[in-house]
Structure 1
Amino acid sequence: MKIGLGLPLQDPGVLLDWARRADTGPFASVGLGDRVVYDNPEPLVALAAVAAATTRIRVQTNVLLAPARETVLLAKQAATLDRISGGRFTLGLGIGPRPDDFTATGQDYHRRGRRLDDQLARLRELWAAGSAIGPAPTRAGGPELLFGGFSPQAIGRVARWGDGFISVSPADLTDQLFRAVEKTWQAAERPGTPRLVAQVNAVLGPPERVDRGLAAIAAYYRSLGPYAEKVLEDVLTTPDRLREAVATYERLGADEVVVYCWTTDVDQVDRIADAAG
């Protein structure tokens, strides 16, 4: 099983240091989440810089709010990043839970799921051979495509459009989601198996560093009410807890566990590598 690293959202200036160190370590990927109404870097722009600063590691969005974006430009940006990275790009997509991200971009929050379904058909058209809008992606049909979410609609998109699924849920719910993804994949008679990715939050180190990380997580999830409290409860703050979580998700069939850290201290890369690698 592979280990990925979620890059910190708070300071774009540290991303290349994190990525270069991850590129020389045991990690298979580095990822960035997506918000609009938040003080975070735009992930496609940031990951293009990360791709240029690395040689081996995959770059991925975990996950990009596709319905908040214009579809044709999204297709062009994703294909460009795919080409710049030499095919090392994974496009993780979701619909997001926060209305303000859609208000800011002039999109209808309540139609975001239907909009994503429409976008997926259009993205495939734009990435097809012979499309007038280039560049052509390195892989026929577009970059590797993963979906995040909790609903049956999100799970159905994996079998219809995607290559796999990203779970940001506790182990018991992740088990249910993984099994549902596999079932719909088989029902759709897709060849092979879906790629299954689990995502966890971790902050390792001395108490003051852990406190900073927990504060950053609380700020990011504050608008989601009780869900934010559950996220904080599940943050992994010791190497033993992180190792145990990785082993649990491996037993559930995860192909990769992405460990998101919430401090900008670059030594977190080595701490996470030692604990989970």
Structure 2
Amino acid sequence: MHYGIGLPIGRPENLTDWARRADDGPFRTLGLLDRIVYDNPEPLVTLAVLAGATTRVRLQTEVLLAPLREPALLAKQAATLDRLSGGRFTLGLGVGGREDDHHATGTDPRHRGRVLDEQMARMRRIWSSAEGIGPAPATPGGPEVLFGAFADPALRRVARHGDGFLCAAPPQWVGELFAKVERFWAEEGHDGRPRMVAQVNVALGSSVDEARSAILDYYGFTGDWARNTAERMLTTPEQVREAAKQFADLGADELIFYCWGTDPDQADRLADVVS
């Protein structure tokens, strides 16, 4: 199983330091979340900067809220980032659930699932050079696409439009979600198995209190769910190792350690734990 780092959003100016440390370590991927009405850096712009600061590690949106964006421009941006990074870009997509983001972009949240399906069909055409919109991505057919989801219609989207599944759920939910995605994958006639990427929140060292506060602020609108998420955060090397074993046993191909504290030393601490 591979490991990745979910980048904190609190101090964007530190992210090149995070990226270089991850690039030198045992990590496969750098992930970055997406919101509009929040104090976070725009992910495609930020990952483009980090592509220039790294040589090996992959760059992943986790997840980009595609229905908030126009599909031709998004396809061009994704292809450009994939091309300039030498094929190191993964486009993680989701529909989002916060109405303020849709209000800010003038989009209708009621039809966001249907919109994403239509966007994917259009972007696949663009990446195959069917519409004359370039550049061609470095990855034939377009960058790797993963979907974050929980409900069955969204999980089916992995098989219909994607290459894999982003699962931001605790271990007790993961087995059932993975099994559904694999079943939908087979029903769509695919061979093999989609890529399964799990995510868990982590804070090591002096970043624990800062990380808990950041989680509570980001997910504050969810009430008890936010508090439970903050409480489930892994805060010791032993917890990190046990979680890694659990997700590996469940069949995850990669585990993203999402860091909410802003101290880049966390990347080194995590590297020591998983090496």
Q: How high is the TM-score relative to the length of structure 2?
A: 0.98
Counterpart residue identity of residue 80, structure 1: T
Q: Partners in 2 of 1:80 and 1:192 — Cα distance?
A: 29
- Equivalent in 234, 237, 240 of residue 239 of structure 1: 237
Give the conservation status (yes or no) of the 8 Å contact 1:129–1:140: no
Matches within 5 A, 1:171-250: 171-206=171-206, 209-250=207-248
Q: Partners in 1 of 2:163 and 2:252 — Cα distance?
A: 14
Deviation at 1:225, TM superposition (A): 2.1
Residue 27 of structure 2: aligned partner? 27
* SS of corresponding position for 1:13: helix
Any idea what the Cα deviations from partners look like across 1:100-147, whole Å, max 9, x if unmatched?
111110001111111111111111111113431101111222100000
Any idea what the Cα deviations from partners look like across 1:162-182, whole Å, max 9, x if unmatched?
100000001111111111111
Q: Partners in 2 of 1:199 and 1:164 — Cα distance?
A: 14
Any idea what the Cα deviations from partners look like across 1:78-99, whole Å, max 9, x if unmatched?
0000001000000000011211
Deviation at 1:74, TM superposition (A): 0.4
Gapped regions of structure 1 (runs ≥ 5)? none
**Does residue 1:111 correspond to 2:111, yes or no?**
yes
Deviation at 1:227, TM superposition (A): 1.8
Residue 262 of structure 1: aligned partner? 260
Residue 68 of structure 1: aligned partner? 68
Q: Partners in 1 of 2:272 and 2:91 — Cα distance?
A: 27
Q: Partners in 2 of 1:174 and 1:101 — Cα distance?
A: 28
Name whichever of 54-63 and 129-138 sits farther off: 129-138
Moved beyond 3 Å, runs of 4+: none
* SS of corresponding position for 2:120: helix
Counterpart residue identity of residue 87, structure 1: G
Q: Partners in 2 of 1:219 and 1:130 — Cα distance?
A: 43
Deviation at 1:28, TM superposition (A): 0.5
Aligned length: 275
Q: Partners in 1 of 2:270 and 2:140 — Cα distance?
A: 35
Any idea what the Cα deviations from partners look like across 1:49-100, whole Å, max 9, x if unmatched?
1011100000000100000111111001000000010000000000112111
Gapped regions of structure 2 (runs ≥ 5)? none
Q: How high is the TM-score relative to the length of structure 1?
A: 0.97
Matches within 5 A, 1:54-133: 54-133=54-133
Q: Alignment RMSD, CA only?
A: 1.0
Matches within 5 A, 1:162-177: 162-177=162-177
